[in-house]
């Protein structure tokens, strides 16, 4: 009988999701639940990127160790760029850095003040929501408009989560209130000062080439290429920009869970592990 050729099975590269939210911001799962779910979906590496909060990272790292899932430190910051609200993702920074934690405290206190103002505006237009109902939704997490939408839904004051944004708290809604935000330069400087990399989150359709170049000049390390709001051609476009300017690429599902109804995205928007390795080599050589 002919001897079978010994062939190495091509190893299937692992997958990573570098954009996830937990109960420490507007996600529905605890860090433990999220890491377990990542493991069940076969993900090898994840970054939890809560808005203005790094509270999930310790528990996530511990759970990650027991499940064999790498947990990279992550964070999502909102910055004001012109008249726009732009999101910056941070990776691989030191989550115990004192200056970083002080900034995050300020951002979260300002979020609370803003939630109070939004509740006042809603009450003025006869929507009887209370701050307590909103804070109950937020729990330990940084409070944001998603919690206000959830509270309105819970109290039967809106037909759906999305309707709350359209009718009341979206950018053109009667109860909209701006959030205190720093500039892209300040956020990028902060991330770099605690050893991290800065990525432009979900640029989508609304970031012009001139705006992209401006942000790159301000010191971005990379762009989030894979995201549910990017179709194939958007991904190709941003991958081209990344290559042209020697930037790094990132990607993930931006999964929140719960009332956001985004379960379809979990495990479906991922990047290969070499994307994570490229970040590590840029930082550590
Ligand atoms: P905040 O940081 O409090 O301003 O909340 C921003 C978050 O609200 C975003 O990350 C989205 O998850 C959500 N959001 C903003 N606009 C809408 C919208 N029109 N419909 C649904 N969710 C939205
Ligand atoms: Fe969010
Ligand atoms: Fe975002
Ligand atoms: Zn996000």
pLDDT (tens digit per residue) in 192-207: 999 999 999 999 977 8
What is the Å distance from ligand 1's center to 146 Cα? 6
Residue 248, both tokens: 């790094």
**What is the pLDDT averaged over residues 197-225?**
95
**What is the pLDDT averaged over residues 219-226?**
98
Burial class from Cβ neighbours inside 10 Å (0-12, 13-18, 19+) for residue 70 reads middle
Q: What global pTM score does this model have? A: 0.94
Q: Which atom of ligand 1 is nearest to the CA of 111?
A: 3
User: What's the confidence (pLDDT) of residue 72?
Assistant: 98
Taking the C-alpha atoms of residue 151 and residue 158, their distance in angstroms, rounded to an integer, is 9
What is the Å distance from ligand 2's center to 27 Cα? 7
What is the Å distance from ligand 4's center to 222 Cα? 16
Smallest Cα–Cα separation from 20: which of 190, 191, 235, 260? 260
Q: Is the CB of 107 under 6 A from ligand 1?
A: no
Residue 126, both tokens: 């006869």
Name the closest-CA residue to atom 19, ligand 1.
165
Q: Could you give the percent of the chain with pLDDT greater than 90? A: 91
Cβ contact 94:72 at 8 Å: no
What is the Å distance from ligand 3's center to 79 Cα? 11
Q: Is the CB of 269 under 6 A from ligand 1?
A: no
Q: What is the pLDDT of residues 229-274, one digit of tens each?
A: 999 999 999 999 999 999 999 999 999 998 888 999 999 999 999 9
Q: Is the CB of 51 under 6 A from ligand 1?
A: yes
Q: Which atom of ligand 1 is nearest to the CA of 144?
A: 3
Residue 102, both tokens: 């002080």
Taking the C-alpha atoms of residue 102 and residue 119, their distance in angstroms, rounded to an integer, is 26
Whose tokens are 């840029």? That residue is 282
**What is the pLDDT averaged over residues 106-117?**
98
Q: Could you say which ligand is closest to the alpha carbon of residue 118?
A: 1
Q: In what order do the strands lie in the sheet with 43-48?
A: 248-251, 222-226, 197-200, 84-91, 70-81, 43-48, 15-20, 271-272
User: What's the confidence (pLDDT) of residue 246?
Assistant: 97
On the question of pLDDT at 6 being above 60, the answer is: no
Phi, psi of 32 (to 5 degrees): -60, -50
Q: Is the CB of 78 under 6 A from ligand 1?
A: yes
Task: Give the CB-side neighbour count of residue 54, counting CA atoms within 13 A.
Answer: 23
On the question of pLDDT at 187 being above 60, the answer is: yes
Whose tokens are 């991904």? That residue is 235
Q: Is the CB of 15 under 6 A from ligand 1?
A: no
Q: What is the pLDDT of residues 9-67, one digit of tens each?
A: 456 789 999 999 999 999 999 999 999 999 999 999 999 999 999 999 999 999 999 99
């Amino acid at each position: 009988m002919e001897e079978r050729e010994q062939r190495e099975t091509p190893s299937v590269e692992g997958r990573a999701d570098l954009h996830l939210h937990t109960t420490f911001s507007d996600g529905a799962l605890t860090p433990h639940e999220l890491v377990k779910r990542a493991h069940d979906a076969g993900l090898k590496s994840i970054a939890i990127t809560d808005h203005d909060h790094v509270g999930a990272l310790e528990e996530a790292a511990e759970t990650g160790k027991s499940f064999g899932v790498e947990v990279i430190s992550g964070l999502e910051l909102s910055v004001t760029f012109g008249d726009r609200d732009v999101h910056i993702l941070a990776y691989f920074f030191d989550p115990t850095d004192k200056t970083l934690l002080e900034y995050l405290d300020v951002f979260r206190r300002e979020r609370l003040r803003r939630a109070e103002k939004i509740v006042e505006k809603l009450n003025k237009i006869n929507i009887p929501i209370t701050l307590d109902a909103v804070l109950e939704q937020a729990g330990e997490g940084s409070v944001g408009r998603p919690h206000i939408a959830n509270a309105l839904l819970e109290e039967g004051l809106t037909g759906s989560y999305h309707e709350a944004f359209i009718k009341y708290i979206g950018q053109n809604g009667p109860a909209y209130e701006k959030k205190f935000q720093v500039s892209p330069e300040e956020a990028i400087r902060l991330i770099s000062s605690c050893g991290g990399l800065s990525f432009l989150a979900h640029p989508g359709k609304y970031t012009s080439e001139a705006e992209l170049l401006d942000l790159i000049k301000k010191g971005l390390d990379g762009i989030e290429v894979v995201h549910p709001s990017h179709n194939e051609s958007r991904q190709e476009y941003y991958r081209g920009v990344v290559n042209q300017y020697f930037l790094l690429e990132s990607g993930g599902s931006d999964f929140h869970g719960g009332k956001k109804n985004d379960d379809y995205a979990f495990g479906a928007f991922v990047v290969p592990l070499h994307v994570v390795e490229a970040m590590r080599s840029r930082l550590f050589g």
